[in-house]
């Protein structure tokens, strides 16, 4: 049986999950496909035949990074039962960021999530360069939001900013979410294909589940099948990882998009799980 790994999901503490999902739905004007809880995610992936979902926590308060990291470690104590595994998170203004990254490594979390738009710091800022550099030294994977954020305006993590950071740091374990830059895919292909960064497919394929009242003129289009396959050719299938951005995409539909794409079966297997398994050293 093929191991399918969703590298990019989100959950929230049970006490605030419902309110958080409501707030994010209002901001993005889109549907959610689970309730945002760990148990909800676990049920969804098992129903979709997904072997493992990786949670990407977003730290918006610099001083809460260690607390969030320790909570992530508790999630991972139950991975054999839930099939959910969590990365750590950090903020660019977190004091002793290398100390927090060492804690992430020592707790076995495998990687760290960065979100420049939510953290209100451009990705090519020296603070992120230092974090990515330290993560590399510690053998950690870094996953960063790429491109525009559907709910937050501004140029925080465009492909040009990612390219600038990459040129200075030269990371070997950097995953740029949303196929390198949501709504900026041509720029991502032009600036990032010749680097060694990885991409995930999260919230980039299929149709966006907009609320009914959103006018057609205000709805963004995702990557077409042809454009996706062209990016796979440009970057190489070994650098593409399956992700859903759950709860904002539905697992079975996203899996089906990859499975029916006109790509060799070997490349589909790499994208759906083998690349993540290798990168995370599972």
> The domain spanning residue 72 has which CATH number?
3.20.20.140
Alpha carbons 204 and 228: distance in angstroms, whole number: 9
Sign of CA dihedral 125, 54, 239, 173: positive
Summarize pLDDT for 163-181 with one digit per residue, the tens.
Answer: 999 999 999 999 999 999 9
The residue among 139, 156, 226 whose CA lies nearest residue 189 is 226
Tokens 């720029």, residue located: 187
Alpha carbons 78 and 207: distance in angstroms, whole number: 33
| % of the chain surpassing 70 pLDDT | 100
Is residue 216 classed exposed, middle or buried when 0-12, 13-18 and 19+ CB atoms within 10 A define those classes? exposed
- Number of domains composing the chain: 1
| pLDDT interval class at 1 (50, 70, 90) | very low
| Rounded alpha-carbon distances, angstroms, from residue 167 to 69, 124, 162, 194 | 29, 10, 9, 11
Tokens 């995610």, residue located: 41
Whether residue 2 is predicted with pLDDT greater than 90 in this model: the reply is no
Structural domain boundaries enclosing 126: 5-280
Is the whole-model pTM more than 0.85? Answer: yes
Q: Which residues are paired to 176 by β-bridges?
A: 144, 199
Q: Which residues are paired to 6 by β-bridges?
A: 53
**pLDDT (average), residues 75-97:** 97
| % of the chain surpassing 90 pLDDT | 98
Summarize pLDDT for 99-122 with one digit per residue, the tens.
Answer: 999 999 999 999 999 999 999 999
Alpha carbons 55 and 34: distance in angstroms, whole number: 14
């Amino acid at each position: 049986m093929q191991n399918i790994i969703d590298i990019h999901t989100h959950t929230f503490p049970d006490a605030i999950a419902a309110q958080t999902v409501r707030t994010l739905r209002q901001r993005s004007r889109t549907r959610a496909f689970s309730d945002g809880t760990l148990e909800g995610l676990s049920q969804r992936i098992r129903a979709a035949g997904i072997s493992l979902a990786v949670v990407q926590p977003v730290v918006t308060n610099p001083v809460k990074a260690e607390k969030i990291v320790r909570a992530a470690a508790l999630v991972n104590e139950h991975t054999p039962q839930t099939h959910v595994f969590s990365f750590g998170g950090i903020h660019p203004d977190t004091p002793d960021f290398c100390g927090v990254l060492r804690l992430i490594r020592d707790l076995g979390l495998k990687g760290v999530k960065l979100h420049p738009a939510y953290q209100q710091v451009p990705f090519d800022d020296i603070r992120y360069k230092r974090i990515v550099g330290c993560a590399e030294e510690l053998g950690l994977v870094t996953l960063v939001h790429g491109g525009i954020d559907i709910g937050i305006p501004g140029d925080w993590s465009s492909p040009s900013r990612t390219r600038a950071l990459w040129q200075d740091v030269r990371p070997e374990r950097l995953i740029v979410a949303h196929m390198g830059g949501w709504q900026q895919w041509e720029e991502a292909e032009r600036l990032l294909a010749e680097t060694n960064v990885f991409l995930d497919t999260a919230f980039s394929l299929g149709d966006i589940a907009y609320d009914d009242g959103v006018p057609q003129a205000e709805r963004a289009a995702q990557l077409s099948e042809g454009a996706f396959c062209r990016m796979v050719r440009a970057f190489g299938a070994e650098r593409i990882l399956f992700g859903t951005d759950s709860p904002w995409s539905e697992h079975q539909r996203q899996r089906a998009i990859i499975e029916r794409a006109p790509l060799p079966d070997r490349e589909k297997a790499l994208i759906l799980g083998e690349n993540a398994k290798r990168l995370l050293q599972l």
